[in-house]
Amino acid sequence: MKRLIGLLLLAGVLASAPTFARARGLEEFYIYPFVEYFNWKEFHGGTRLLEESGPLFGVGAAASIDLYNNALILKGKADIFGGVINYDGQTQGGTPIISNSDYIGSRLEADAGWRVNWERASLEPFAGFGYKWWWRHIQDTTTPSGQPVSGYPEIWQTVYATAGVRGDVVINQETRFFYEAGGKYPFYTSNEVDFPGVGKTTVEPKGDPAAFAELGIRHKWFRPSIFYEGYHWSASDPVFVTDNTGAHFLLSQPESESYIIGLNLGFAFK
């Protein structure tokens, strides 16, 4: 229900964009349809267990607010995304399988920065926090010999800190380049796995620092950019579970990493 409310709020923001763009102190407001190439891998003992890859699609909104004298800047963004991508993995017994994975997710970020301005450029160190939630569903499939394999859903969420620098370079009155680069640290991550025969179990992989970057240009109202986002988690502590046959075993999230390379097609209202 909380996620549904969040999606409805984002839809409301997008629908009221022209009105919001006239808010006092608002420096920039834009929406951004986007497409991204998503890659996910899991490892155990240095051996790759699975890899997922393919395009995800989404839409979001972002705003920056001048809190003080064109120097103290507050920025926030929210987006939703989804898609179906390729799954190349294996069963618990090690039999190779090919399938697809469904993804639906959302992200919220906010940060504050202190901008230093020059005549035709600016530099803004910033720090903030973010929250990302996504539902991942590995579809049912079969082994090469035709044996059925049941898929299962997962619900991931992570809370992370961000820090970096951004800025722009003015080309003329209507055009400027902008950039952003930094790192993020996921200080809390959970994965609720609904594993066949076991039920819902939550594991908490340990987040590691990762990088992000964006580079783009704004010409009048058009604001396209390319971006990169990385994540890495060490393996979670194992959780003791019991399946529906009464057998006991340990369940954990393996070492996991992902990267995203994408294209934003921003449309600025201010």
CA separation, residue 66 to residues 18, 25, 63, 72, 74 (Å): 18, 5, 10, 6, 7
For residues 171, 173, 174, 180, the Cα torsion angle rounded to the nearest 10 degrees is 50
pTM of the model: 0.88
Structure tokens at 242: 């019991």
How is the chain split into domains, by residue range? 2-268
Whole-number pLDDT of residue 243: 84
Q: What is the rounded CA–CA span in Å between residue 237 and residue 141?
A: 29
CA separation, residue 70 to residues 73, 111, 165, 259 (Å): 7, 16, 16, 34
Q: What is the rounded CA–CA span in Å between residue 262 and residue 46?
A: 28
Q: Which residues pair with 75 in a beta bridge?
A: 64, 111
Structure tokens at 125: 């160190």
What are the backbone angles phi and psi of residue 223, rounded to the nearest 5°?
A: -135, 65
Q: Which long-range contacts (CB under 8 A, 24 or more apart) does 42-46 make?
A: 42/89, 42/254, 42/255, 42/256, 43/254, 43/255, 43/256, 43/257, 44/235, 44/254, 44/255
Pick left, alpha or beta for residue 83 (phi over 0 → left; psi -120 to 50 → alpha; otherwise beta). left
pLDDT tens digit at each of 270 positions of the chain: 445 545 555 555 555 445 444 556 899 999 999 999 999 999 998 899 999 999 999 999 999 999 999 999 999 999 999 999 999 998 877 889 999 999 999 999 999 999 999 999 999 999 999 999 999 999 999 998 889 999 999 999 999 999 999 999 999 999 999 999 999 999 999 999 998 888 899 999 999 999 999 999 999 999 999 999 999 999 999 999 888 888 888 889 999 999 999 999 999 998
Q: Which residues pair with 43 in a beta bridge?
A: 48, 255
CATH number for the domain running over 2-268: 2.40.128.100
**C-beta neighbour count of 9 within 10 angstroms:** 12
